[in-house]
Amino acid sequence: MSGVITYSPAYTLVPTYECFNRCDYCNFRVEPGKAPWITLSTAEKILKELQNQNVCEILILSGEIHPHSSRRESWLQLIYGLCELAIALGFLPHTNVGPLSFVEMQQLKTVNVSMGLMLEQLTPALLNTVHRHAPSKIPELRLQQLVWAGELQIPFTTGLLLGIGETQDDWWETLEVIAQLHTRYGHIQEVILQPYSPGNQQTWNAAGFKPQQLPEVIAKARELLPAEITIQIPPNLVSDPNWLLACIKAGARDLGGIGPKDEVNPDYPHLSDADLLQILKSAGWQLIPRLPIYPQYDRWLSEPLYKAVQSWRNR
């Protein structure tokens, strides 16, 4: 029997690229007010074309509107509407749109099978560097999201962004905090170890995180995290097949959402699932699609979402 590696056949919908934060490593954001918002009718056209293409997950990934802005409520309504639309057309939504209030999270729980927010790194030192102009990256604010997700029983994806100026000890500390929160609430389904990868839009000129370091981080993460949490790595950011295989050997078991475009790292296109399959097969691994919610969390879903998930599981 060979080991199994999973991925989520996904398409990313972007409500808006405008963002009031300015993370130095970001290749996604546009100045507030300078990017259009997607309309439900555009989204409907896109989603209809995706039907029968084996896409299951709709990843809703957005730039952020300030919590005190008068446009915050319509932004959240748009996200809610996109999730509803995705469900109506047979997809399963996963939303990652930055920090939310408790009530906003509670609302989005009803239209998402899982949600996510990267911790990035918990060290406050980054607030003087890459996160200098990014109030959404205040560590306590992001930790609070993980606590609320636990209280609300939302299956959750989080992770670390590696190579943004943190130390190695910072990695272990952030991983230990994730492990503790999971022990309390049992809601972390996967942890992404994301190598910072420079793109052509960002302001910061720093070399990317070296893939050679990743297996070491994965191996230690595997020791620090409870066994039921899956470690996810993005294969397009570890493009050398030998390093990708080394990461898997070290304990990574999921390749995340794979779709036509990585909206966060548009300079790093994904291999097709057929090509990935070949690479993995050469080392004796299987590649299997998964849903954006792991089976042990199905019982946390409301009745309509539970039914939608079961019909995918029975395909």
Ligand X SMILES: O=c1nc2n(C[C@H](O)[C@H](O)[C@H](O)CO)c3cc(O)ccc3cc-2c(=O)[nH]1
Ligand Y SMILES: C[C@H]1O[C@@H](n2cnc3c(N)ncnc32)[C@H](O)[C@@H]1O
**Is the Cα dihedral 53, 116, 182, 127 positive or negative?**
positive
Q: Is 104 in the site for ligand MET (CB under 6 A)?
A: no
CB-wise, 148 or 300, nearer to ligand Y? Answer: 148
Report if residue 197 touches ligand X, rule: CB under 6 A. Answer: no
23 is in an annotated binding site: yes
Instruction: Establish if 120 lies at the interface with ligand Y (CB under 6 A).
Output: yes
Q: Which residue is nearest to ligand X (CB)?
A: 116
d(CA 65, CA 32): 8
Nearest CA among 108, 53, 93, 139 for reference residue 309: 93
Tell me if 16 contacts ligand Y by CB under 6 A: no
Q: Does 197 bind ligand Y (CB under 6 A)?
A: yes
Residue selected from 64, 170, 190, 262 as contacting ligand MET according to rule CB under 6 A? 64
Instruction: Indicate which single residue of 136, 158, 194, 232 sits in contact with ligand Y (rule: CB under 6 A).
Output: 194
Cβ atoms of 257 and 12 closer than 8 Å: yes
Short-list 161, 188, 163, CA closest to 174: 161
In three-state secondary structure terms, 89 is: coil
Q: Rounded to the nearest 5 degrees, what angle is found at the Cα of 257, between the Cα atoms of 232 and 81? A: 125
Name the β-bridge partners of 114.
Answer: 94
Beta-bridged to residue 37, according to DSSP, are: 16
Least distance (Å) from ligand MET to the CB of residue 145?
10
- Report how far residue 72's alpha carbon sits from residue 61's, in angstroms, rounded to the nearest whole number: 16
119 or 276, CB closer to ligand SF4? 119
Residue placing its CB nearer to ligand MET in the complex, 132 or 313:
132
Judged by beta carbon, residue 64 or residue 190, the one nearer ligand X is 190
Contact of 162 with 193, CB cutoff 8 Å: yes
Instruction: Please check if 56 is assigned to a binding site.
Output: no
Our finding on whether 98 is near ligand MET (CB under 6 A) is yes
Q: Is residue 190 close enough to count as binding ligand MET by CB under 6 A?
A: no
DSSP symbols for 142-199: HHHHHHHHHHTT--EEEEEEESSS--HHHHHHHHHHHHHHHHHH--EEEEEEEE----
Q: Which does 18 bind (CB under 5 to 8 A by kind): ligand Y, ligand X, ligand SF4, none?
A: none
Per CB under 6 A, contacts with ligand X among 112-141 are: 114, 116, 118
Q: Which stretch binds ligand Y (CB under 6 A): 2-10, 19-27, 44-52, 296-304?
A: 19-27
Binding residues: 19, 23, 26
Q: Which stretches of the chain bind ligand MET, using CB under 6 A?
A: 19, 26, 28, 61, 63-64, 96, 98, 117-118, 264
